[in-house]
Amino acid sequence: METTFWEWLANPEVTHYLIVSALLFSLGLLAVITRRNVIMILMGIELMLNAANINFLAFTRFATHSMDGNLVTLFIIILAAAEAAVALAIVLNLYNRYKTVNVDEINFLKG
Amino acid sequence: MSLTTILFYLFALLTLGSATFMVFSRNIVHAAFAMMFTLLGVAGLYVLLYADFIAATQILVYVGGILILILFGIMLTTQGFTSGFKTLTVNLVPGIGLALLASAGLIYVFVSSPWTSVSMEAPKTTITEMGMLLMHEYMLPFQVTGLLLLVAIIGALLMATKISHKPKKDS
């Protein structure tokens, strides 16, 4: 029995969550590619990490009976916190030295 | 149309709408506040996926920690009051093209794959099982994470504070 598109839409399954996470991931990718400010790039990376977390939890909820996905998500959140702290310290140093946070103006390594 | 469906679409709309606003907003402070709503929407999706503890952690760590850190970063790195927190975008058309390509590819893979779906009733509590896993199978990652946090704290402190390299003039 073929389910119609509206019936498919009315019952959120694993695919729906995966589509949301795919769209969130591409929005994060867009922020990383198109913005010049380092902090906006960091925010885009956080969006991509959140998209990965949604994937892990969706597979935990719909595909397994174990709690492994929850723990992986917990570790990803901890890693994101550590990454944000270190990255913002780097950004502060960058601003003190070059007086700008735009990534395309920090090209002193270019020969 | 059950309540779960309505809540799922509500949280998905909140997440994706505020993420879109964040990406295309010119004012970086507005972008940070839009990111708060994105993270709250993601926390709502976690609750719908039976991960209540992860949702609470998400709100505590992301909204309470990382977002505040990002706001501090914005305040400490803007040039004067005249710039008005404006940021520029570059390569908008190729970037949108690449993002559309990535999302189309991902969605095609996700929709065309036959996922097995196990119907799982809502667990009474998730914290007990998570704690048992954390203390048995995930003991090594748990300890390594603690070490990583210590290293991150020391590294961030060393980098963010100014250290004078002048030799001491004693004796």
Q: Are A38 and A44 in contact (CB under 8 A)?
A: no
Residues of B numbered 94-123 whose beta carbons fall under 8 angstroms of chain A's beta carbons: which are they?
94-96, 98-100, 102-103, 106-107, 110-111, 115-118, 120
Q: Is residue A104 part of a domain?
A: no
Q: Is residue A103 part of a domain?
A: no
Q: What's the number of CA atoms in the CB half-sphere (13 Å) around residue A96?
A: 11
Q: Is residue A35 part of a domain?
A: yes
Q: Is residue A86 part of a domain?
A: yes
Q: If you measure CA to CA, which chain B residue comes closest to A19?
A: B107
Within 8 A of A26 by CB-CB distance, chain B residues are 99-100, 102-103, 106
Residues of B numbered 118-157 whose beta carbons fall under 8 angstroms of chain A's beta carbons: which are they?
118, 120, 126, 129-130, 133-134, 138, 141, 145, 148-149, 152-153, 155-157
In percent, how much of chain A has pLDDT > 70?
Answer: 96
pLDDT at B165 over 80: no
Nearest to A96 by CA among B171, B139, B73: B73
Tell the residue number behind the tokens 């991960």, with chain if given.
B51
Q: Is residue A105 part of a domain?
A: no
B142: its two tokens:
């748990």
Which of A93-100's residues contact partners 24+ apart within 8 Å by CB, and which partners?
A93/B159, A93/B160, A94/A38, A95/B76, A95/B77, A96/B162, A99/B79, A100/B79
CATH code of the domain covering residue A34: 1.10.287.3510
Q: Could you report the per-residue pLDDT of B114-135, keeping only the tens digit for each?
A: 887 777 777 778 888 889 989 9
Q: Which residues contact B72 (CB under 8 A, 6 or more apart)?
A: A88
Q: Is residue A17 part of a domain?
A: yes
Q: Is residue A111 part of a domain?
A: no
Domain that holds residue A57: 5-98
Q: Are A51 and A64 in contact (CB under 8 A)?
A: no
Q: Could you report the per-residue pLDDT of B44-79, keeping only the tens digit for each?
A: 999 999 888 999 999 999 998 899 999 988 888 876
Q: Is residue A55 part of a domain?
A: yes
Residues of B numbered 28-67 whose beta carbons fall under 8 angstroms of chain A's beta carbons: which are they?
28, 31-32, 35, 38-39, 42, 45-46, 48-51, 53-54, 57-58, 61-62, 65-66
Total structural domains in chain A?
Answer: 1
pLDDT of residue B42: 95
A93: its two tokens:
């140093």
